[in-house]
Chains A and B, each alone.
Chain A
Amino acid sequence: MKLRRSATPVVVEDPSSTSPVLRVRDLRTYLYTRWGTTRAVDGVSFDVEAGETLGIVGESGSGKSMLALSLVRLTPEPAARNVSGSVHVGGTDLLQLTERQMRSVRGRDIAMILQDPHQSLNPVFTVGDQLREALRSHNTGVNRRTANERAIQGLEDVGVPAPEGRMRNYPHELSGGMKQRIVGAMALAYDPKVLIADEPTTALDVTIQAQYLQLLKDVQVRTNVALIVITHDFGVIAQSCDRVAVMYAGRIVEHGPVDEIFDKPRHPYTRALLDSRPRSDVRMDRLATIRGQPPSLTDLPRGCRFADRCPYVVDHCRKEYPETVQTSGSHSAACWRVEEI
């Protein structure tokens, strides 16, 4: 098979697609610290369309959370700085907006659900106070009564039983699953075009996790929101995503449709990660492991960042970062030996 090589970082252009709701190009977010420059997000590009779910999967330190924060411009100041790239929502490049302009976009066009619902709600205000505040943040013309009605409707939309009563509760009176639903209601208050969920179910129990992923799906069917799910868990990816981008050391190393990623992973890292998962349906004698550790983001190697841990490594891998290879219509991987994998 002859594969097309391109010098640009992983970008998948699907010719049949309409223009995407979110278009990210060559995004770089570096952290400047006493110990050096950490290249947390280092040249990331992808598109997400309306009604579609993109999963971004990676281990801790891969840069996936910093990527999420970069998209909504909530990276920790002053250490983090956006170095290059663009984040287009509709026709607007969010990175070019002033903070004041960004504030009117955040929550309205692009919203985010954080991992830990216990930390995303203010403990000294009731659920109602916080929901009403979210609803009035972009439109001070909304009176208290309308805000109240809309808040109750919002809670109902995310499956909170007896929403009127919940409005008077404080966060500590609610379970983790309920809190995460309320955080969801706040994020959806303005019907955003893009919703980013960073490890949305990690803090939840198994049965509640299943309910929450179903809720996100239902919301998407209803609102056609473009959803980005950031996770370390391939189970979450398998359950809820249409496409997957695999991140390693600040870059996307593989990107493709979810079935292809699981059936025919083309990057050695993706393959190793998938193979190391234990199964609950068969008892295995031994789990495959990945030797070594990810490289330090302050001192990245010149060549492929996975080279030291890769079973397929050849000399060339250490000399030059691999070009991105399109292996099929919308599947691509950054590996020198992609033909053999």
Chain B
Amino acid sequence: MSGALLEVSDLTKHFPLSGGFLGMRSRGAVRAVDGVSFQLQPARTLALVGESGCGKTTTAKLVLRLKSPTRGTVLLEGRDVHGLTGDDVAWFRRSVQAVFQDPWSSLSPRMRVGDIVAEPLVVNGRYSKGEIKQRVAAMLERVGMQERHAELFPHEFSGGQRQRIALAMALITDPKLVVLDEPVSALDVSVQAQVMNLLRDLQDELQTSYLLITHDLATVRFVADDVAVMYLGEIVETAPAEELLDSPKHPYTQALFAAELPHHPAQRRDEVPVRGEMPSPLSPPEGCRFRTRCPHVMDVCLTKPPATRLGEAHQVACHLY
């Protein structure tokens, strides 16, 4: 598909493990991300969903150029981000920003809020002091803070306000893509709602794309347009958010959704939806990686399931389809 803002193909990251004397003996590799491909269109939100250890955060780091891939490419507007040099790196840094889960550790405790939010512009070096001040004030207002807050330190704010500050810092360079790594899971319920509303408003206003990393389906439903479900380093299912949440096809997606806690006591369930735990990414099962826990496992699952197209944008990697 053309016109994609972000195009990830066959992205793979293996972390080699060494042991023995001076670490000279190789003990294999953790296959954190293994052949992941997806696309993200401008002004849209793609959610990467999965449990811890599934590789979603490593994928985000590869997209952010914080780690280099073992194999595969990440294209931003058609340019390979891992091959960039010189000024092009600065272009990438302006274009792609991130907001992390924990607003207690992502903001420098020794800088004033105004300086924190201004930092990306200062580093960029193309703005005058007056211009920076003006843009910081405008951005703080946009995320629902006041101009006077620029003079305060992060510890003077609550979690929700800190996450607003982190968002202001991410958006100040007018990026094309913001990677949101569990942006609300460290916040209280009533504050989560505020930040989620804000994320949607900002996207409508600024036409930014979001790559959302989360395990929470309610967040997915509220924020995402498309979803990719990851298990043990691979994408098992991709689909538009509504379609995926209403009719999940892959047995893992179904299990993940069934494990969600009920919204009301009347929806309480008595059965455990999936047994066992995720196998080690050091030696993932051959063939389908979910087969060790899958209720529908068949002989054919010993071979790798190809990605099957079920609808216009719905793909699933399972032998059932």
Contacts and interface: CB of A to CB of B under 8 A. Distances in A.
Contact of A205 (B51, B220, B262): B51
Contacts of B264: 238, 262
Contacts of A210: 259, 261, 272-274
Interface centre among A60, A205, A237, A278 (most CB of B within 10 A): A278
A207 interface: yes
Contacts of B197: 286-287, 289
Interface residues of A, number: 42
B261 A236 contact: yes
Given A205-B215, A208-B277, A239 B268 contact: yes
A236 B263 CA distance: 9
Interface string A288-304: 11100100000000000
B127 interface: no
Contacts of A288: 193
Contacts of B215: 205-206
Contacts of B52: 176, 205
Contacts of B275: 211
Interface in A224-248: 232-239
B263 A238 contact: yes
Contact of A284 (B194, B222, B274): B222
B9 to A, nearest CB: 28
B259 A278 contact: no
A273 B189 contact: yes
Interface in A112-164: none
A233 B217 CA distance: 14
| Interface size, B (range) | 35 or more
Interface string A38-69: 00000000000000000000011000000000
B298 interface: no
Contact of A278 (B196, B265, B266): B196
Interface centre among A205, A206, A236, A272 (most CB of B within 10 A): A206
Contacts of A259: 265-266
Nearest to B218: A278
Nearest to A161: B276
A276 B263 contact: no
B261 A235 contact: yes
A238 B159 CA distance: 26
Interface in A100-119: none
A198 B137 CA distance: 41
B265 A276 contact: no
B261 A262 contact: no
Interface centre among B215, B256, B264 (most CB of A within 10 A): B264
A290 B158 CA distance: 14
Contacts of A233: 189, 261
B250 to A, nearest CB: 14
A278 B51 contact: no
Given A278-B222, A281-B263, A207 B189 contact: no
Given A59-B190, A60-B188, A277-B189, A262 B222 contact: no
Contact of B263 (A176, A177, A235, A287): A235
A276 B255 contact: no
A262 B262 CA distance: 12
Contacts of B221: 278-283
B75 interface: no
A253 interface: no
A262 B268 CA distance: 13
Interface of A: 59-60, 175-178, 205-211, 214, 232-239, 258-259, 262, 272-273, 276-284, 286-290, 293
Interface of B: 51-52, 158-159, 188-190, 192-194, 196-197, 215, 217-222, 241-242, 245, 255-257, 259-269, 272-275, 277
Given A177-B277, A281-B221, 10 more contacts: A206-B215, A208-B51, A232-B189, A233-B261, A234-B189, A236-B261, A237-B265, A239-B265, A239-B268, A281-B263
27 contacts: A59-B189, A60-B188, A206-B51, A207-B255, A207-B274, A209-B261, A211-B272, A235-B262, A235-B263, A238-B261, A238-B263, A238-B268, A239-B269, A272-B190, A273-B189, A276-B190, A278-B219, A279-B221, A280-B257, A281-B221, A282-B221, A283-B241, A286-B197, A287-B196, A287-B222, A288-B193, A289-B193
